[in-house]
């Protein structure tokens, strides 16, 4: 009888990439995927700890799994991802329904649960197993972990220190993806410009993108998430010079006030962040820049918050992802700082940023009406094909176009979140 697995994933693209790799491994072992948890023989929950909301969703799934396991004691359950730390004793007590715990990129405990003891899978990267691409755009993790230890963040404790994948391994995976229909890869890292610091010869992200550009069938390269201090002029020059690399940046600033930035241990000042933005725009005046910001950090005052608003006004980001601070157990801020901004103030600040960013995003998007943008068609929603421009903007099309096509689109309508247009020329990449 075929063994069926149910794989549930929340969190960032790194988690999604881990799940895709695990699914590829399961497929290689002859297991079949199911999207109905009650039909599964194996349940894997790939979790996220960055926000309370993500953990709450995992708790709810764990409750469902507990009931299923009562009815079927043979059900195998694995908990994976950022909820799993170095020590699992406490987790074992809290979740007796779970048979195996696996940290991010640690696949062995899950495979052992199914097959018994396994040989070394090649460390955290399981190198010879690639995810089967689901469309023309794919994620490729290039550096795992983070060394930065921002006070509010759990990532370095759960994903470990920065560890780069060997360049030839990334090239092999990208070539495999492109041979299977992929046209665009997004190179992933928690701080993606940290790529290569720990490799022999210390290549950087620009060197990697240069090598990947030589893959014929690959049309576009993106990268995220950026960390201002790691983003060197050399890397920016490579982005500007390499035709396949998209002018699309995800550059979190997190707070506009130097006092809060210092307390967060972000490692840069407001002025240094703004200098980095100026450098990007000097090289690529039309670059798309998105950002992440936190409101309600411990000790944040109205005056600090005003500086966050003024930075957003000054930079005019294409998109702002805003989150209210929530204390995460295990972080420096959780241990040492009082969560002293009220929930009502956090909600009000969040709302003010959303209003501001909607206005600015709409104003920026309206300037593209009438322009012709290159769009890679990633899929179809309802009857409408959609894809992204070179600056990372979502575009819906008013005409049927094949998924995977690269089309020139005249933009006819702009909203705060997306654009709409009509293809003027369909250049299908062979
Ligand atoms: S740079 Fe800071 S916020 Fe980003 S993953 Fe590392 S510790 Fe977390």
Q: What is the arithmetic mean of pLDDT over 314-331?
A: 95
As a whole-number percent, the residues of the chain with pLDDT over 70 amount to: 95
- Residue 97: the pLDDT is 92
Q: Which residues line ligand 1 (CB under 6 A)?
A: 146, 148-150, 153, 155-156, 190-191, 227
- Residue 273: the pLDDT is 98
- Report how far ligand 1's centroid is from the alpha carbon of 225 (Å): 10
Highest mean pLDDT among 63-67, 82-86, 273-277 belongs to: 273-277
pLDDT one-digit tens code per residue, 108-151: 889 888 876 666 555 444 556 787 888 999 999 999 999 999 99
Binned at pLDDT 50, 70 and 90, residue 430 comes out as: very low
Atom of ligand 1 nearest to the CA of 156: 7
pLDDT one-digit tens code per residue, 244-264: 999 999 999 999 999 999 999
From 15, 148, 273, the mutation candidate for ligand 1 (largest count of ligand atoms within 8 A of CB) is 148
- Report how far ligand 1's centroid is from the alpha carbon of 86 (Å): 18
Is the pLDDT score of 427 beyond 60?
Answer: no
Is the pLDDT score of 52 beyond 90?
Answer: no
- Report how far ligand 1's centroid is from the alpha carbon of 150 (Å): 6
pLDDT one-digit tens code per residue, 328-386: 988 999 999 999 999 999 999 999 999 999 999 999 999 999 999 999 999 999 889 99
Is the pLDDT score of 281 beyond 60?
Answer: yes
- Residue 411: the pLDDT is 96
Binned at pLDDT 50, 70 and 90, residue 315 comes out as: very high
- Residue 21: the pLDDT is 86
- Residue 429: the pLDDT is 42
From 155, 231, 253, 273, the mutation candidate for ligand 1 (largest count of ligand atoms within 8 A of CB) is 155
Query: Residue 87 — left, alpha, or beta (φ > 0 → left; ψ -120 to 50 → alpha)?
Result: beta
- Report how far ligand 1's centroid is from the alpha carbon of 146 (Å): 6
- Residue 90: the pLDDT is 83
Atom of ligand 1 nearest to the CA of 225: 4
From 152, 153, 227, 268, the mutation candidate for ligand 1 (largest count of ligand atoms within 8 A of CB) is 153
How far is 12 from 357, CA to CA, in rounded Å?
Answer: 22
Atom of ligand 1 nearest to the CA of 149: 7
Question: CB of 153 within 8 A of CB of 331?
Answer: yes
Q: Which region among 32-46, 87-101, 410-424 has the lowest average model confidence (pLDDT)? A: 87-101
From 15, 82, 104, 156, the mutation candidate for ligand 1 (largest count of ligand atoms within 8 A of CB) is 156
Question: What residue owns the CA closest to ligand 1's atom 1?
Answer: 148
Average model confidence (pLDDT) for the chain? 92
Is the pLDDT score of 283 beyond 90?
Answer: yes
Atom of ligand 1 nearest to the CA of 254: 3
């Amino acid at each position: 009888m075929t063994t069926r697995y149910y794989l549930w994933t929340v969190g960032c693209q790194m988690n999604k990439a881990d799940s895709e790799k695990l699914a590829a491994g399961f497929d290689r072992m002859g297991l079949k995927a199911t999207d109905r948890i009650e039909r599964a023989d194996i349940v894997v929950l790939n979790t996220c700890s960055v926000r309370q909301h993500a953990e709450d969703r995992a708790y709810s799934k764990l409750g469902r799994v507990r009931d299923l396991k009562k009815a079927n004691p043979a059900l195998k359950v694995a908990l994976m991802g950022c909820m799993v730390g170095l020590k699992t004793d406490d987790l074992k007590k809290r979740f007796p329904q779970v048979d195996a715990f696996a940290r991010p990129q640690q696949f062995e405990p899950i495979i052992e649960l199914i097959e018994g003891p396994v040989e070394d899978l090649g460390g955290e990267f399981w190198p010879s197993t690639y995810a089967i691409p689901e469309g023309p755009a794919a994620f490729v993790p290039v550096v795992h972990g983070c060394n930065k230890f921002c006070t509010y963040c759990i990532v370095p404790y759960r994903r470990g220190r920065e560890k780069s994948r060997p360049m030839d391994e990334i090239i092999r995976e990208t070539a495999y993806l492109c041979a299977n229909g992929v046209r665009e890869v997004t190179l992933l890292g928690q701080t993606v410009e940290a790529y290569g610091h720990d490799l022999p010869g210390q290549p950087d992200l620009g060197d990697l993108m240069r090598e990947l550009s030589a893959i014929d069938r690959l049309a576009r390269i993106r990268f995220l998430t950026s960390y201002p201090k790691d983003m060197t002029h050399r890397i920016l020059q490579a982005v500007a010079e390499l035709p396949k690399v998209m002018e699309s940046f995800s550059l979190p600033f997190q707070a506009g006030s130097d006092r809060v930035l210092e307390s967060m241990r972000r490692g840069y000042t407001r002025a240094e962040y703004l200098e980095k933005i100026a450098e990007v725009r000097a090289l690529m005046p039309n670059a798309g820049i998105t950002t992440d910001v936190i409101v309600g950090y411990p000790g944040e005052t109205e005056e600090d918050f005003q500086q966050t608003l003024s930075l957003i006004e000054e930079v005019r980001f294409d998109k702002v992802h805003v989150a209210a601070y929530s204390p995460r157990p295990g972080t420096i801020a959780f241990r040492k700082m009082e969560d002293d901004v009220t929930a009502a103030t956090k909600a009000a600040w969040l709302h003010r940023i959303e209003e501001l960013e909607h206005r600015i995003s709409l104003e920026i998007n309206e300037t593209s009406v009438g322009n012709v943008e290159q769009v890679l068609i990633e899929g179809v929603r309802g009857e409408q094909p959609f894809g992204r421009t070179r600056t990372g903007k979502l575009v819906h099309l008013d005409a049927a176009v094949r998924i995977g096509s690269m089309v020139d689109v005249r933009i006819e309508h702009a909203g705060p979140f997306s654009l709409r247009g009509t293809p003027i020329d369909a250049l299908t990449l062979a």
